[in-house]
């Protein structure tokens, strides 16, 4: 059985469609939406609503770590837009409609921190199984899925408390393959060498790995990691890659 795994799709519809080909199943570890494209300032929700110059300013502030100023700039942009809420919802639903339509049957998907969980059920077709704090069987193995991210100064759309996250991890129990959007809290896995900061990793994931020692743990979230993989005991922990840039799925032969 051949599985293709992707994470951090961030609006890459056509590459996602291709990533589902020649696979028996696709696993998607979240961050489907593109709000802000750091490289293509015309793209994403912000690019389509506010234009490239406004996006360039926002990218500049966030890259410099001025999150308060970035939020103020973002607020001023939204305030200048008549019926901002509707415009944003329309842009989000438009992206989700295209992305879910590009997913093959079967697809197993969980949320990233840059996702709106409430909007998924409406767009997912019958071949897409949405899993968050849940286990399913794939190729005779138990796969556990945990979605979302932990609180950060970026205040991305789906960040939950450490306790709520730990409860979802605990709900899985022992699994053969652990899948999450964010990595376990290991500095080499969480440090982004381009952004030059530590992203949020999960202590609960690390503890679950130490306790249950699954064969494999897959995640994404850290776009340019110091280390793309590491071992924790007998568990191989693997970042499946920043799909929006690489456009190549991670291939797992079972
Ligand atoms: Mn993420």
pLDDT in tens, 40-81: 899 899 998 999 999 999 999 998 989 999 999 999 999 998
pLDDT in tens, 23-32: 999 999 999 9
Compute the distance from residue 78 Cα to the ligand 1 centre, in Å: 23
Distance CA 203, CA 240 (A): 20
Tell me how crowded residue 63 is: count the other CB atoms within 10 A of its CB. 13
* DSSP structural state of residue 117: G
Compute the distance from residue 210 Cα to the ligand 1 centre, in Å: 23
Give the pair of three-digit tokens for residue 133. Answer: 């704090």
Give the pair of three-digit tokens for residue 103. Answer: 């997913």
pLDDT given at position 3: 98
pLDDT given at position 84: 87
Domain ranges (residues) in the chain: 2-32+104-253
Percent with pLDDT over 90 in the chain? 92
Q: Of 38, 37, 6, nearest to 20 (Cα)?
A: 6
155 pLDDT higher than 90: no
205 SS3 class: helix
Across the range 72-98, mean pLDDT stands at 93
Compute the distance from residue 54 Cα to the ligand 1 centre, in Å: 23
Q: Which residues contact 145 (CB under 8 A, 6 or more apart)?
A: 108, 110, 131, 132, 133, 134, 135, 136, 172, 179, 180
Compute the distance from residue 237 Cα to the ligand 1 centre, in Å: 17
Distance CA 138, CA 209 (A): 19
pLDDT in tens, 185-232: 999 999 999 988 999 999 999 999 999 999 999 999 999 999 999 999
Sign of CA dihedral 9, 182, 134, 168: negative
Across the range 116-122, mean pLDDT stands at 97
Q: Which residues contact 205 (CB under 8 A, 6 or more apart)?
A: 146, 169, 178, 180, 182, 183, 184, 185, 217, 219
Compute the distance from residue 114 Cα to the ligand 1 centre, in Å: 6
- Fold type of domain 2-32+104-253: Purple Acid Phosphatase; chain A, domain 2 (3.60.21)
Compute the distance from residue 221 Cα to the ligand 1 centre, in Å: 4
Compute the distance from residue 106 Cα to the ligand 1 centre, in Å: 23
Across the range 12-23, mean pLDDT stands at 97
């Amino acid at each position: 059985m051949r599985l293709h795994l992707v994470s951090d799709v961030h609006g890459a519809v056509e590459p996602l469609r291709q990533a589902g080909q020649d696979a028996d199943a696709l696993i998607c570890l979240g961050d489907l939406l593109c709000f802000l494209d750091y490289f293509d300032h015309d793209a994403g929700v912000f690019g389509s609503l506010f234009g490239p110059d406004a996006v360039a300013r926002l990218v500049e502030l966030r890259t410099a770590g001025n999150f308060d100023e970035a939020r103020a700039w973002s607020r001023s942009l939204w305030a200048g837009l008549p019926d901002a809420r509707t415009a944003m919802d329309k842009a989000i639903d438009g992206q989700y409609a295209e992305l879910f339509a590009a997913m093959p049957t079967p697809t197993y998907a969980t949320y990233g921190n840059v996702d709106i969980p409430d909007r998924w059920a409406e767009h997912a077709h019958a071949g897409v199984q949405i899993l968050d704090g849940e286990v399913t069987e794939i190729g005779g193995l138990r796969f556990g899925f945990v979605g979302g991210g932990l609180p950060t100064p970026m205040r991305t759309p789906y960040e939950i408390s450490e306790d709520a996250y730990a409860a979802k991890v605990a709900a899985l129990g022992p699994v053969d393959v652990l899948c999450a959007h964010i990595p376990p809290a290991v500095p080499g896995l969480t440090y982004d060498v381009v952004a030059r900061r530590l992203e949020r990793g999960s202590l609960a994931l690390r503890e679950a790995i130490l306790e249950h020692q699954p064969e494999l743990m897959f995640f994404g979230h850290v776009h340019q990691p110091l280390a793309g993989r590491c071992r924790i005991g007998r568990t191989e922990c693997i970042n499946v890659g920043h799909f929006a840039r690489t456009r190549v799925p991670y291939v797992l032969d079972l």
